[in-house]
Structure 1
Amino acid sequence: MGSTTTQRPLPENGVLDLFRLDGRTALVTGASSGLGAGFALALAEAGAQVVLTARRADRLRETAERIEALGGECLVVATDVTDPEQCEEAVAAAVARFGKLDILINNAGVSSAVPALRERPEDFRQVLDVNLMGAYWMAQSCARVMGPGSSIVNVASVLGLIKSVLPQAAYAASKAGLIGLTRDLSQQWAGRRGIRVNAVAPGFVATEMIAEMPSETLDEFLRATSPLARTGTQRELDAAVVFLAAPASSYITGTTLAVDGGMSGH
């Protein structure tokens, strides 16, 4: 007589449900192109209503059309994150449209590659103004309206953790600062306000920001620093961002998740 096994019924809320964002509202900065547009689309795929912000309103509309084609709901708000008042206005518009705000993806950023002895003060300040201070102003504005269970994900960079092959003092300083800001805001808000704050540190991904790097230089750098020896993909980063935004990471705060092909651990 053969043995029989009884299979237990699956739980009503399976593990994959922890990655869903249905009923949540997410605001993405720098959503007009590159990684930000991809993050916005991924959040919409996971069920979130998405507020798209960036300075280029026409490019934001392109991202919105992609989300709407999926049946998602979104709002476009032209915003310069270096202006705290515009950050406040974007958050107010999000709450007016969707009634709440649960997720912030602090992605807006600019890059530079200038030898330190030739970098002008105004150029250095501009990078920090967008990448670090802009993230801070938007986090402040969002945290004022976010409730317990909310999540902030700061998009840092592997260059906040390791050296660069190019002269990128301003960019590296801004991203290292963003990692430090992530730890501090988590300490202030996670316990008291129930707002988790984490960062993702992408490695080299094929976007506008690395388009100017000679391919030979990039390939050589990746072979020397990354066990995977390749660039990452948008979808590989999307998965990490959705994870940190979703209930799946509810016991994670104050950390920086390196999605860099092993570069920072090499």
Structure 2
Amino acid sequence: MDIVSQPVWIVVSAGLAVLLITVAMGSAWSKNQMPVEGKTVLVTGASEGMGRSAARQLAEKGASVILVSRSANKLEEAMAHAKAAARNPQTQRFHYITADVSKPDYASSLLAEAIAWNDGKPLDIVWCIAGKSTPDFWVEAPLSITREHMDLNFWGSAEMAHTVLRLWCAPNAPVVPEPKHLIFTSSVLALFPLIGYGTYTPGKAALRGLADTLVQELEIYPQKVKIHVVYPGTISSPGLERENKSKPEITNILEETDPIQTPDAVAAAAIKGLEKGHYAITVAFLGDVLRWSTLGASPRNSWVIDTIMSWVISLALIFALPDIYSKIRKYAKKNGHPINYRKKIGTE
């Protein structure tokens, strides 16, 4: 979304830089809020892209990792990739499980297998990364595409969350000092919707709503469980290559100045935010801006800084939003009804 190209962001960026430096300096001495050495972590969507990178980087930090995806061949390669990076090869363990997380009732059997492999011990961290995006004009695309995205991008994570939280927070589950961690992977598009992503954004926005609610709900249980939401932007992955096959031209126009990050960079930034104990984790400056623009009643990483920056960004959007709508209207005036050019992107 091309909202950082406006002159107003030059002024805003100067102020933000001071705040971000201050935060960075303060965090340099903070305790690691999610140590993974000696812990068992389950990662869905681990066969490629961000999930594969996250699995490897967690292995580098000493975690035993269970990788989940649909493709056994890709999982074998990803597991070997993670295993080769292990900090403590003598003690760390690695396992993969094939599963389609978009299918109903998948989580119970998957977690049963994972726990059995983990010598009957509860998992320490579950990170839901599996997802996909098939951009299109929502009105023109079959509704089945949105349902398909909801099944994977929302229900795939929601079912895992429901199942693992029932295990972690059961009446007979142990109450221990160190918390478990449940991590959702949403998208910056859940913070700032953009034309062309109508099939994708609802599922990612629903994840945000679920996570915001669970943060409150888990306060009533004696067991300690931390919820986190990661908001990646554009990632240079096989998923992006598939996404670009159906992406409308106007979407590309609005995104032309957006940063594209490698899976390694996104995973590293996400893990850094988790180690800081952040609830909402963005992986680039643009993500910070978009998070500040739509905080609402979501939990804050910093009550003071987040609140102040939400005021600043609200003022900046007075200039940015009209520009976005102007570009969309000019494109519509030039090209006419979407049916005339949708066929060019090969989605019919």
Between Structure 1 and Structure 2, how many residues are aligned?
242
Residues in 2 aligned to 1:161 and 1:90: alpha-carbon distance in whole angstroms: 31
Contact 2:274 2:281 in 1 (8 A): no
> In the alignment, which of 233, 255, 268 is matched to residue 221 of structure 1?
255
In the alignment, which residue of structure 1 is the partner of 2:80? 65
Give the conservation status (yes or no) of the 8 Å contact 1:30–1:109: yes
CA contact (8 A) 1:106 1:135 kept: yes
Which of residues 153, 157, 162 in structure 2 aligns to 1:131?
153
The residue type equivalent to 2:67 in the other structure is: L
State the AA in 2 paired with 1:185: L
Q: Distance in 2 between matches of 1:261 and 1:222?
A: 16
- Does the 8 A contact of 1:19 with 1:46 survive in 2? no
Query: 1:242-253 maps to which residues of 2 (within 5 A)?
Result: 242-243=271-272, 245-246=274-275, 248-249=276-277, 252=278
Deviation at 1:145, TM superposition (A): 2.7
Match of residue 172 from structure 1: 201
- The one-letter amino acid paired with 2:215 is S
Contact kept, 8 Å, 2:59 with 2:83, in 1: the verdict is no
Q: Is contact 1:201–1:260 with CA below 8 Å preserved after alignment?
A: no
Q: How does 1:96-245 map to 2 (within 5 A)?
A: 96-98=116-118, 99-146=121-168, 149-164=179-194, 166-192=195-221, 193-211=223-241, 212-213=243-244, 221-223=255-257, 230-243=259-272, 245=274
Aligned positions of 1:69-88 closer than 5 A: 69-70=84-85, 71=89, 72-88=92-108
2:184–2:230 CA contact under 8 A, matched in 1:
yes
Gaps of 5+ in 2: 1-28, 169-173, 293-312, 314-348
Question: TM-score, normalization: structure 2?
Answer: 0.63
Deviations 1:224-254 (A, max 9, x none): xxxxx532233332234324554x41xx4xx
Q: 2:79 aligned with 1:48, yes or no?
A: no
Larger Rg: 2
Change (3 A) 1:67 1:245: same
Equivalents in 2 of 1:57, 1:151: separation in Å? 26
Are 2:270 and 1:258 equivalent residues in the alignment? no
Does structure 1 retain, via aligned residues, the 8 Å contact 2:269–2:283?
A: yes
- Cα distance in 1, alignment partners of residues 95 and 167 from structure 2: 17
Q: Which runs of 5+ in 1 are unaligned?
A: 1-13, 224-228
Question: 1:144 aligns to what SS in structure 2?
Answer: helix
